Every structure is written in structure tokens, then in C-alpha cells.
């Protein structure tokens, strides 16, 4: 791996991250045979040492595809963790199976709704907002809901800084 750790020559891209994917074989002392290791080496602007991530696998896929698959897997695990920590999916304290199933089903439905809001309506921001951020900033907000002439109205304070998100989600005008 040492020959691949030299800093890349040339100007870094606009993102400031230079990525190098390395495919090699390695055998630890406890292993009976060498195994395939795919490493992703990232050089970030302003950092002295590279960030290195490696995956030991037996796949015959190209190295870049292996990295893409494992990054997607890590993202899926982050979404599960987000659901457990924010919406308490793991709280199954009822003694009846049906009650726990209903609680988990409602949690998954709430997560899907919040994820849809995050994916389609929270745009123009550099950071991908967490479900916890959405709940604290958009759901737990003081508002008055009224019904008049076959229409529902959600009235929020005119000084509310995130009102544009409400307009986008509820399809209001600008």
C-alpha cells in the first residue's frame, strides 16, 4: 500500500478531494491465503495525511464498483440508525406482538414521509438534513391549523425563517 500513499501531482479538482482506488492482494499472518483488498485513498485539500478506507472481499467486480456498493451499504446502515435514534424504531415495550408491529409500522411510515420531504422539498442547501433536523425545525413548530370553506390552512408566524420549506411541502405560492 505504501507506493500508493504519495500525494498526487497536479492541482486538486474543484471539490478539493483527489480520490485514488487501489486493488491489491494481502495476506495477514492468520489467513490461510491472500485475499483481495480494495482501498479508497482520499487526499483532502488542507490535510496532511490521506483518508484511507479498505474493504476485504472476494468479489470479481471492478474496484470502483466494489467501493460504490460498500458506500451504499454504509448509507443504508446510517438510515437505519437514524430511524432507531430519532423515531425510536427499537422501542417495542408492549407485550402484544400486534401493538409492537403497529408502532414499528407507524414509525416506518413517518420515516418515509420525512425522507420524502428531505429528498424533494429541502433543496438548495449544501448539507443533507437529518430527520432529527426536520422534526425539530419543521414539525415541532407552533402553528394554527384552521378549516374554512372546504380548505385547510396552516398559519405560521410571518417571522418564521423556514417558511419557504412549508410553502414547498404544502404547494403554496411564493
pLDDT digits (tens, 9 = 90+) for 52-89: 888 998 888 999 999 988 888 888 888 888 888 888 88
pLDDT digits (tens, 9 = 90+) for 10-27: 676 667 788 889 898 989
Distance (Å, rounded) from C-alpha 101 to C-alpha 94?
10
The parent domain of residue 161 ranges over 142-174
Domain edge (last residue) among 58, 81, 107 = 58
Q: Are residues 34 and 81 in the same domain?
A: no
Q: Are residues 50 and 114 in the same domain?
A: no
**Which candidate, 138, 155, 156, places its Cα nearest to that of 146?**
155
Q: Are residues 24 and 53 in the same domain?
A: yes
Q: 113 by DSSP, 3-state: which? A: helix
pTM of model > 0.85? no
Amino acid at each position: 500500500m505504501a507506493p500508493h500513499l504519495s500525494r498526487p501531482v497536479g492541482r486538486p479538482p474543484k471539490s478539493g478531494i483527489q480520490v485514488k482506488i487501489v486493488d491489491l492482494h494481502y495476506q495477514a499472518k492468520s489467513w490461510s491465503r491472500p485475499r483481495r483488498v480494495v482501498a479508497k485513498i482520499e487526499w483532502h485539500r488542507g490535510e496532511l495525511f490521506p483518508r484511507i478506507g479498505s474493504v476485504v472481499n472476494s468479489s470479481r467486480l471492478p474496484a470502483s464498483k466494489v467501493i460504490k456498493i460498500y458506500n451504499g451499504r454504509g448509507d443504508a446502515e446510517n438510515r437505519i440508525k437514524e430511524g432507531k435514534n430519532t423515531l425510536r424504531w427499537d422501542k417495542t415495550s408492549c407485550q402484544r406482538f400486534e401493538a409492537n408491529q403497529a408502532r414499528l409500522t407507524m414509525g416506518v411510515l413517518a420515516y418515509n414521509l420525512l425522507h420524502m420531504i428531505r429528498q424533494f422539498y429541502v433543496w438548495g442547501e449544501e448539507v443533507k438534513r437529518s430527520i432529527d433536523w426536520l422534526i425539530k425545525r419543521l414539525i415541532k413548530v407552533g402553528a394554527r391549523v384552521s378549516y374554512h370553506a372546504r380548505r385547510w390552512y396552516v398559519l405560521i408566524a410571518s417571522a418564521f425563517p423556514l417558511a419557504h420549506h412549508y410553502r414547498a411541502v404544502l404547494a403554496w405560492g411564493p
